[in-house]
Amino acid sequence: MRPALLLIFLILSGCQSVIDKNQTLTSLKSKSVNTIQYSQEDDLWQVIANRQGIKSVSNSRVQSRIDWISNHPEYLSLISKRAEPFLYLVVSELEKQNVPIEIALLPIVESDYYPFSYSHGTAAGLWQFIPSTGRMYGLEEDWWHADRRDVLASTKAAANYLNDLNKMFKGDWLLSIAAYNAGPGRIQRAIDTNIKLGKKTDFWSLDLPQETEKYVPKLLALSQVIKNPSRYNQKLLEIDNKPFLNEVELDSQFDLALISQWTGLSIDQIYNYNPGLKRWATPESLPYIMLLPEEVIDSFKDNLSKQGQRPKISWTRYKIKQGDSLSVIAQNYNTTIGQIMSVNELNNDAIRADKYLIVPLAQKSEGYYSLSDNQREKSRLNIQKNSEKIIYTVVAGDSLWKISIKFDTTINNLLRWNQISPSDSLSIGKELVILRDNKNKTELAKITNTGIDINRDIFYTVKEGDNLSRIAQKYNVKIAEIRSWNDLNEEYILQPGDKLTITINVVNSNLS
């Protein structure tokens, strides 16, 4: 099966963007040549710093990324907080599969360790798997759950994928990491071109997309910075070298409100620790592995034993009305046709008026499940609909932290509103969108504002004769925006075949 997958990889391109409960990293074998007493490593960042297996590289491309990190002192502090629940799980899986430990930093490059990250319209999760590659590595998605966002499943898949890429590129980890970003087919074509031209075929010698040329140096820069963070103006939150989260196997479907009640965790914490969850309950497909903090697991198990065989989700007896269908009933009760059919032992979707169905029912109102897919989408639209948009121009000395204080908002809001990550350049003159509650909105403004400000990423292939001005005019955007979205410097000249990401407003833009 695996060799067949490797052949398929050659025609793919795109960003791709479990643990032994009784074993800690201190007892795992190291791949380092030097003998180090890892039992003394209490901080996971130090573990990663000490056990690195990819040869350090110093050149201008790596140094430019190090300089950027040094100029953003809040950067890794923010990342540390996001990574804390997941870093032990990630490091454990990588070491188990003999992947270099600094690959644990790759989710910083991919998603800033934000498990709900969703970029370019398709890539999702910490590891930014696209759907096609995810499916090759067993990452499925249904109405209840998305494996690409599931930390355990996606980490295992990423380690497998990277090992396969490493075999394909004969043990060269820099080429393997580049292929994770650009796709193995794109990297192989660049190698073949250099062979024909009599050039070297190492990563630094290849002609690759700008994003990929920066992708590998970003990882190498991070691997150097964490060895001595204070030298680079960074402060890392210490993360204990022991499990923060552990697995609980569920043998029935659970309402998340019940889990919150049993554990004392907020509903947001449950979603954040289990970002693969899409709805108000765990999946109907069993068993399901739930991640919970170590300190609440005993409480959860104690409540579970008291509950016994009683249902872990609520049900209602629904009387079928004239004109009802299973799809309408499923939509109204935020569930699936399959689940209704299964519970009621229906052989088909034919139903009759005045008969009764048993239908699953969430304990709380829909708004309670704040990080479900439906609520996150509603939140995004409502923020834009009820807000005043301010365009702020970055000045010398600005940082995301300073701007967030100035406008009484959060760094995460700035990142979301501007579709940027903490590692993106905040250059002088860059324009940022700030959304503020507009309580004095006039009726005229309400009429002229559609209330739907939906941005959509499209991918444009540069044609013969194209230039940035023509493309910007076609999609009613600014040249500076196209440069920013695609990380193009002023000197870059478009070439036919280049792929551009363009963010458009689906109400006002020309989609043709």
Q: What is the CA radius of gyration of the chain?
A: 25
197 phi, psi to nearest 5 deg: -90, 0
List of residues 6+ apart from 468 with CB closer than 8 A: 479, 482, 483, 494
CA 419, distance to chain mean position in Å, is 13
pLDDT at position 8, please?
Answer: 47
Give dist(CA 50, CA 26) in Å, integer. Answer: 12
Neighbours of 499 (CB within 10 A): 13
Neighbours of 32 (CB within 10 A): 13
Give dist(CA 391, CA 94) in Å, integer. Answer: 43
Distances (CA, A) of 403 to 20, 175, 406, 407, 410: 43, 38, 5, 6, 9
pLDDT in single tens digits along all 512 residues of the chain:
444 444 444 444 444 433 333 333 322 333 333 333 334 589 999 999 999 999 989 999 999 999 999 988 888 988 999 999 999 999 999 999 999 999 999 999 998 898 888 765 578 899 999 989 999 999 999 888 999 999 999 999 999 999 999 999 999 999 999 999 999 999 999 999 999 999 999 999 999 998 899 999 999 999 999 999 999 999 999 999 999 999 999 988 898 989 998 999 999 999 999 999 998 889 888 899 999 999 999 999 999 888 877 667 766 678 888 888 888 888 887 777 877 887 677 888 888 888 888 777 676 666 777 777 766 666 655 555 556 778 888 888 888 878 887 887 777 778 767 766 665 667 788 888 887 765 444 333 332 333 333 455 667 888 887 888 888 877 778 887 888 788 787 777 788 878 887 876 533 333 33
Question: DSSP per residue over 134-169, as a string?
Answer: HHHTT--B-SSBBTTT-HHHHHHHHHHHHHHHHHHT
Considering 41, 93, 110, 213, which one is annotated as catalytic?
Answer: 110
For the chain, domains (ranges, CATH) are: 2-232 (1.10.530.10), 245-307 (no CATH), 317-361 (3.10.350.10), 386-452 (3.10.350.10), 454-512 (3.10.350.10)
Give dist(CA 273, CA 294) in Å, integer. Answer: 12
Give dist(CA 224, CA 8) in Å, integer. Answer: 34
Give dist(CA 48, CA 104) in Å, integer. Answer: 8
Question: pTM of the entire structure?
Answer: 0.66
Q: Tell me the pLDDT of the chain averaged across its residues.
A: 80
pLDDT at position 157, please?
Answer: 97
> Is 84 tagged catalytic?
no
Q: What is the dihedral of CA 305, 307, 308, 314, to 10 degrees?
A: -140
